[in-house]
Structure 1
Amino acid sequence: MSLSHAEYPGAKPGKWWQSDVLKWLLIGACSLFTGYLVVLMYAQGEYLFAMLTLVLIGAGLYVFANRKAYAWRYVYPGMAGMGLFVLFPLICTIAIAFTNYSSTNQLTFERAQSVLLQRQFASGKTFTFALYPAADKWQLQLINPNDGKAYVSAPFSLTVPEEPRLALQPQEQAPAGEKATLRVITQNRQVLNTLVAVLPDGDELRMSSLRQFSATSPLYSLDKDGEALKNNQTGTLYRPNTDTGFYQAVNAQGQWQTESLSPGFTVTTGWKNFLRVINDEGIRQPFVSIFIWTIIFSVLTVIFTVAVGMVLACLVQWEALKGKAIYRVMLILPYAVPSFISILIFKGLFNQSFGEINMMLSHLFGIKPAWFSDPLTAKSMILIVNTWLGYPYMMILCMGLLKAIPDDLYEASAMDGASPFQNFFRITLPLLIKPLTPLMIASFAFNFNNFVLIQLLTNGGPDMLGTSTPAGYTDLLVSYTYRIAFEGGGGQDFGLAAAIATLIFLLVGALAILNLKASKMNFD
């Protein structure tokens, strides 16, 4: 560590860029930029992002600016990455689980109120309009359809309008040039929507369609309390309902009516989403069924892939087998092919009408299983495909572990007259299972959340009937959560999906702990 001139009075001072001046300038600039980002995020209502930015960058500045925290410079990138990509998404998911966040309730209360207050309705005169070129600018012409009077504005720019208010003057003749086509108007619609045409009598008109300007008024206005909205067209009063997250109509007695305004706003619902999973029969029944199937699928996948991989590893390691190298390459090929390609190929092979598998079964046994419409055969198909995708990995591991088993054990077993099956179950299997246990636990956790297989092969089908949320017999918990979040018929319910994702996290964590304890692994 270098020491400064102040620490060695007799040392010659270095150049300014070699001193601490540049370092503190950079730290100050980063601090100002961080403060700007935090304030900007906070103003936009992104409180979690603001806190994350403040904590990560603040900690980084402290670590890299303080010599006493020098050792933390090697740990900080990993901890920051863990916080950014693991802890932060987890915290966000748990936070969303306690809200009504959905496709209809995405905005904050202030933002939803602002959107509603910006809505307009045609309240008076309506004029047809046209645009005429004027050098590199344009002129707006309004024509009263009742008396045919025309009004024309001064030239203005559609790229960067100098003034959104255009004063129009009576003019009998249309401006020179050919009026703009509907395509030009459509391309510049965003700018035209910001213009306010002011007639000589003071009336203000706004663009109401691609061919008309109309006198408009705000559709909603704030009541005296600053929260309730009044419909200026119908007189209906709407108040914010903090239970549903919508502005909802009220009658003269202040009682809620069925009509509500969209967009809604996010509100804290407490344990409502979690209680829905427990109390709603249309959610609880598919959730329990899918949870049981997810565990069965994960356990059977681990058993089948390990069994097939271990047996094939023993076969290709057999000394008497000729052409072992060719067999190894052929058996490892499924692992080399991208999984999504293999899944799509199997989807075609299992096609109920034209798939090669059903054609072969029909010729041999006279049967055509309904792979995609019957729940039991669909689950069997998924296990078959996933075993095909997973066994090469286990086979490669077993091939390496078999090399570590001493040959003396098999020689002693041969002297005792043991058969190959006895060698496998009494020597090979016990010596392979123990080192494979951590990998089997990892495989279980991976298949517990095997979203790609389900999404590409069956999309969760066949669908369950009578459920409150979209659910299928082959859905895993992760694909069930995805369907709730993005395929819900009543709107994308991210709050409920986050609640189920939180439960999945707790379940997987609990199962992982149980597996680790069962395998007698040391946590400390």
Structure 2
Amino acid sequence: MASNSMTTSLDYRKWLKWASLGLVSLINGYAVILMYSRGEYAFALLTLIVASLGVYVFARKRTYAHRYIYPGVAGMILFIIFPLVYTIGLAFTNYSGSNQLSLERTQSVLLQQTSQSGDSYNFSLYEQDGTYSIALKDGEQWLATDRYELTALPTDKIQLKAVDEPVGNKAPLKTVISNRKLLSDLLLSTTAGDELKMSGLRTFAEIQPMYVLQDDGETLVNYIKNITYKPNWETGFYQEVNVDGEFVGEPLSPGFIVNVGFDNFTRIFTDPGIQGPFFKIFVWTVLFSVLTVVFTLAVGVVLAQVISWESLKGRGVYRVMLILPYAVPAFISILVFKGLFNQSFGEINLVLEGLFGLSPAWFTEPFLAKTMILIVNTWLGYPYMMILAMGLLKAIPEDLYEASAMDGAGPIDNFFNITLPLLVKPMIPLLIASFAFNFNNFVLIQLLTNGAPDMIGTSVPAGHTDLLVSYTYRIAFEGSGGQDFALAGAIATMIFLLVGGLSLLNMKFTKLESE
């Protein structure tokens, strides 16, 4: 009896498992088809891979044991691999604020544009017993539709008829406004056969498409201006062509996405408006990262030495006070420093002006702005180095200092010949990691200076205090000529290669240390 109950339970669980997997597969299939039909091919492929991998892991006995690591693998695919591959892919296209659609969707947008090709007719809604008639004035003659409920207006063509006077009460303008969507979808036909569409809150007019797609599936013709447009596969825009088939005139917006190869990477090194700022920002990024590591290490090690001094009274209090900057959220400290360094009302300038008569322009002079950033980042980073150094100091054998004292060495000799070498060597992987972190320290720059002061004569937004990561952000989201996501993707790809190289270097040092 117990055996039958157990078998029934196992069958139920097995049935539930396969039903759940089947439901997941159906939902995944529907989502993939929906995204594919809308042209979101990358997201469709991502959904298919993640869901199919999950079904595969949970469906087979040989892979069922991997169900515990599947969430981690899925998260890595979703949040690391896919964004990385997608960003690298964008770097080889012209994807920007004006080029975000496929050719088919661009055609659809352009084909929906219309222009007025005839006279306008004033119209009004007339209400009687909860039904409405649309009445137009054609000179001295009235044209009106049959009476309908507004929510039951026909979706096909509505015939206008000649009437002596509209029947009912004229509806207020707010009724037209509240039902504008319904009215704008109507197509009215006059007694002369003209087709009218809503062209304003009080007018209907004869409207025709601005562009007509030709039989080749690509060419658009504007019959109003008698202009032929073809897709320019180099720029990603529809553009006018002359009788010789050459592209002339202004492009039509929106544009479409095309592959441009290494053009974005080439622009970084050949466009003077990008090349100069890029190399300046790259040098500053490296310098900022190196100096931050040096300053935080120096301050952290010195303070660790001081609070490790056994003769110092109140060491516990000093230790807590010096670690406090590490406990306070970084963005709060940055905003506080932004106020302290305010050029007009900041406490730092008030003190400097009172003591020395100085009022530095921290946010407008490039060198001072960079100095300010290094001061703030040193304050934010030294507690981490201090904590590491405090732990490593305890691991240094006291015998070394005793032997050094017997040789007549003083505290400074001990620091440079014993303490510093024994501290820095095991900290090399952590120093490399700190360099990589500060290489991409977006929050500090964004909250403190937002890259200011800005550089003059650049093709894309760039500031003297921008790091590569904030420079990339500004290109992607602050470009005055259109958000250049593709160029930002190219720079992000280069940042990835640099940081990836640092990570490999870090792993190599870590391996050497373990050996």
Bucket of the pairwise TM-score, normalised by the shorter protein: over 0.9
d(CA) in 2 for partners of 1:319, 1:485: 54
Task: Give 1:86 shift.
Answer: 0.5
Structure 1 partner of 2:168 = 176
Q: How does 1:302-451 map to 2 (within 5 A)?
A: 302-414=293-405, 417-451=408-442
Deviates more, 1:46-55 or 1:397-406: 397-406
2:60 counterpart of 1:66: yes
- 1:406-447: CA deviation from partner (whole Å, max 9, x where unpaired): 445445555555433233323332232233222211111111
Is the Cα contact below 8 Å between 1:134 and 1:155 reproduced in 2? no
Is the Cα contact below 8 Å between 1:238 and 1:249 reproduced in 2? yes
- 1:372-424: CA deviation from partner (whole Å, max 9, x where unpaired): 22211111111011111111222222233333344454455555554332333
2:144 counterpart of 1:151: yes
Is the Cα contact below 8 Å between 2:428 and 2:509 reproduced in 1? no
SS across alignment from 2:268 = helix
- For 2:202, give the aligned amino acid: R
- For 1:325, give the aligned amino acid: G
d(CA) in 2 for partners of 1:137, 1:449: 64
d(CA) in 2 for partners of 1:190, 1:432: 72
d(CA) in 2 for partners of 1:153, 1:333: 78
Structure 2 partner of 1:223 = 214
Is the Cα contact below 8 Å between 1:154 and 1:168 reproduced in 2? no
Structure 2 partner of 1:252 = 243
d(CA) in 2 for partners of 1:354, 1:194: 58
In structure 2, the CA distance between the partners of 1:470 and 1:143, relative to structure 1 (3 Å rule), is: same
d(CA) in 2 for partners of 1:43, 1:115: 17
Task: Give 1:187 shift.
Answer: 4.2
Is the Cα contact below 8 Å between 2:101 and 2:257 reproduced in 1? yes
TM-score, length-scaled by structure 2: 0.92
Structure 1 partner of 2:456 = 465
- 1:338-376: CA deviation from partner (whole Å, max 9, x where unpaired): 222222222222222222222221222222222122211
In structure 2, the CA distance between the partners of 1:132 and 1:315, relative to structure 1 (3 Å rule), is: farther
TM-score, length-scaled by structure 1: 0.91
Structure 1 partner of 2:12 = 18
Structure 1 partner of 2:72 = 78
2:504 counterpart of 1:513: yes
Task: Give 1:56 shift.
Answer: 1.4
d(CA) in 2 for partners of 1:419, 1:522: 30
Deviates more, 1:228-237 or 1:514-523: 514-523
d(CA) in 2 for partners of 1:465, 1:422: 49
Is the Cα contact below 8 Å between 1:164 and 1:194 reproduced in 2? no
d(CA) in 1 for partners of 2:470, 2:483: 14
In structure 2, the CA distance between the partners of 1:322 and 1:114, relative to structure 1 (3 Å rule), is: same
From 32, 35, 41, the equivalent of 1:47 is: 41
In structure 2, the CA distance between the partners of 1:135 and 1:23, relative to structure 1 (3 Å rule), is: farther
Structure 2 partner of 1:109 = 103
In structure 2, the CA distance between the partners of 1:178 and 1:22, relative to structure 1 (3 Å rule), is: same
d(CA) in 2 for partners of 1:55, 1:111: 26
Deviates more, 1:323-332 or 1:76-85: 323-332
Structure 1 partner of 2:281 = 290
Is the Cα contact below 8 Å between 2:93 and 2:258 reproduced in 1? yes
Is the Cα contact below 8 Å between 1:154 and 1:166 reproduced in 2? no
Q: How does 1:468-507 map to 2 (within 5 A)?
A: 468-507=459-498
From 223, 226, 238, the equivalent of 1:235 is: 226
In structure 2, the CA distance between the partners of 1:340 and 1:19, relative to structure 1 (3 Å rule), is: closer
SS across alignment from 2:119 = strand
d(CA) in 1 for partners of 2:424, 2:358: 38
- For 1:68, give the aligned amino acid: R
Deviates more, 1:37-46 or 1:27-36: 27-36
In structure 2, the CA distance between the partners of 1:307 and 1:60, relative to structure 1 (3 Å rule), is: same
Is the Cα contact below 8 Å between 1:127 and 1:143 reproduced in 2? yes
d(CA) in 2 for partners of 1:71, 1:13: 22
- For 1:328, give the aligned amino acid: R
Q: How many pairs align? A: 513
In structure 2, the CA distance between the partners of 1:516 and 1:60, relative to structure 1 (3 Å rule), is: closer
2:91 counterpart of 1:100: no
Structure 1 partner of 2:22 = 28
Deviates more, 1:11-20 or 1:319-328: 11-20
SS across alignment from 1:206 = strand
Task: Give 1:164 shift.
Answer: 5.2
Is the Cα contact below 8 Å between 1:142 and 1:152 reproduced in 2? no
d(CA) in 2 for partners of 1:15, 1:353: 76
- For 2:35, give the aligned amino acid: M
2:112 counterpart of 1:118: yes
- For 1:112, give the aligned amino acid: T
d(CA) in 2 for partners of 1:139, 1:396: 80
- For 1:143, give the aligned amino acid: K
SS across alignment from 1:391 = helix
Deviates more, 1:428-437 or 1:218-227: 428-437
Task: Give 1:83 shift.
Answer: 1.1
Structure 2 partner of 1:3 = none
Q: Alignment identity in percent?
A: 57
In structure 2, the CA distance between the partners of 1:171 and 1:291, relative to structure 1 (3 Å rule), is: same
- For 1:400, give the aligned amino acid: G
Higher helix fraction: Structure 1 or Structure 2? 2
